[in-house]
Structure formats: structure tokens, C-alpha cells
Amino acid sequence: MLGVLGISISAILVRWSQAPSVVTAAYRLGWTVLLLLPAVLTKFRRELLRVRPRDLWLCALSGLCLALHFLTWFESLKWTGVAISTVLVSTEVIFTALGFALFLKGKIPPMGVAAILLDFGGSAVLALAGDGEGSQLYGNLLALAAAVFVAMYTLIGRIQRGYLSTTVYTFLTYLACFLALVLMALCSGTPLVGYPPREWLIGLGLAVLCTLMGHSLFSWCLKYLSPAYVSAVKLCEPVFSGALAVPLFGEIPGPMQLLGAAVILGSVLLYTKAEAS
């Protein structure tokens, strides 16, 4: 629940940002790395020194996937509505469940499959019930690409969290993500400085509320819960993001949007029951 609340604030803060998407993402990860650095260099220093080259490569790949997720999703929020974008990104559960079953030899119970399909149906209802702003194809495609990238990040996290602590895994992944975003900005000729202080504060808010209280909590959960379940829970994000968008941006949900939100919450409860059994 805390993780869902954290990531739900992400879309709101990104919508407020006026900097290029790659800059907003870089600020977010830069703050995150700085906040984790003291703990990594003290309490987790020995574990960090024991990290194998294979772990470094996997964390680097995970960080690249996360960087591409942030870049495509942040950009999609400039072209489509908050609720629509978050719904499409939340379809990562479909890609994660398939990857979990195909590549990690995971098993999804029949009730879990039904819950995922119900989840997707609720997300589709919510997306189709959006306003004209959400029909912009470019933003929708970017959101779907972001879903694929975050599913890859989640699956790699499942592998790494089997024997790495949350702090060490997330630090290495976030560091790789930050470096990838800086490289993307340099290659595209996008300046990383010269923006008003509010952009730095938005980046800090994204780091604390959305990354540490969101993504890091989900990474911790991957040691105890299946990646398909963690992704399914994230489908609650459009409900909370859409609710916050009402007073902040005037995006009033209609009856069909409320129906889609109810279906999503019900399907997550169903998957919880399937996972427990």
C-alpha cells in the first residue's frame, strides 16, 4: 500500500515539471543515489565489496531498463492524461506475468490468471473511458513502451533480490539508471543545468516519495512475493493518481472510469487471495 501511494504521486509531480523528461528523470535518480550513499558506504559497505561482476552487469541492465521506463513514461505524460498514462503503464503486469512464466519458470495459479485478465479489463475500461486528451496515440504508445521496460526491470529485480539486500541492489540499479540518463541527455544535447529551483525540488520529491517509498519498497517485496503479484498491485496506481488529478488538474472521472477503478481494486484483492493460497 505504501509503495502504491508513493508511485501514485509520481505522475502528479512529473506533470508539474517544466523541464525536459530526461532532465526530470536524471534529477530524480541523482537525488536517490545521494540519499542512499551514506547507508551504502557504512552499513552495507562489506556487502557492496562482495558484489560479483555478474551482479554488476545485471544491475546495469536493470538500471538501463528503468532509465528507459522513466524517459518514455515522463514523456507520455506530456501528451496524454494522468489517468490514461498510468493505466497503460500499469499493464506491465501482463508483460511481467508472461516473462515470469516463460523465462523464470514461475507458476501463476488459475485464479491469478483470472485476476490478471480482470485487471487488464478494468484498465482497458478506464483507458477507453478517458477524455479526448487521452486519445493521442503518441503518448499512449510511449506509455505502453514504458510498461514493457518496467516489466523487464521487475523481472531482473526478482533474480537479484534472491541474494542481494534491497539497499545494495537498488543503489547499484539506481546508479546505473542515473548514469544512463545523464548519457542520454548528453547524447541528445539536452542541458542538465540552468533550470529553476522548483525542478530540483520536484526531483527531490520524486526521489523520496516515488523512488524510495515506491520502487524501493517494491524491490524489497520481490524477495517475498512473486513479480506478477507485485506488478498486479501496482495497477492500483491509476486509481490514486486519477483521484489526485481531480482537484489538481480538474480531470473529473466519469461513471465508466469509476467502474474501471473498482474492477482494478477487486482484481488486486483476487490476486492477493490466489497468491496466499
**Which of the four pLDDT bands, split at 50, 70 and 90, describes residue 130?**
low
How far is it, in rounded angstroms, from Cα 262 to Cα 277?
Answer: 23
pLDDT of 63 reads 92
SS (H, E, C) the chain: CHHHHHHHHHHHHHHHCCCCHHHHHHHHHHHHHHHHHHHHHHCCHHHHHCCCHHHHHHHHHHHHHHHHHHHHHHHHCCCCCHHHHHHHHCCHHHHHHHHHHHHCCCCCCHHHHHHHHHHHHHHHHHHHCCCHHHHCHHHHHHHHHHHHHHHHHHHHHHHHCCCCCHHHHHHHHHHHHHHHHHHHHHHHCCCCCCCCHHHHHHHHHHHHHHHHHHHHHHHHHCCCCCHHHHHHHHHHHHHHHHHHHHHHHCCCCCHHHHHHHHHHHHHHHHHHHHHHC
The grid coordinates of residue 195 equal 533550470
Q: What gap in Å lies between CA 234 and CA 92, rounded to an integer?
A: 9
Q: Please, which pLDDT band fits residue 54 given cuts at 50, 70 and 90?
A: confident
Q: Kindly report, residue by residue over 62-100, the tens digit of the pLDDT.
A: 999 999 998 998 888 888 777 777 777 877 777 787 787
Whether residue 206 is predicted with pLDDT greater than 70 in this model: the reply is yes
146 within 8 A of 10, measured Cβ to Cβ: no
Q: How much is the pLDDT for 127?
A: 62
**pLDDT, the chain, mean:** 82
pTM, 2 dp: 0.80
Query: Out of 11-15, 146-150, 176-180, which region has the weakest mean confidence (pLDDT)?
Result: 11-15
Higher pLDDT, 35 or 234: 35
pLDDT exceeds 70 at position 190: yes
pLDDT at 179: 95
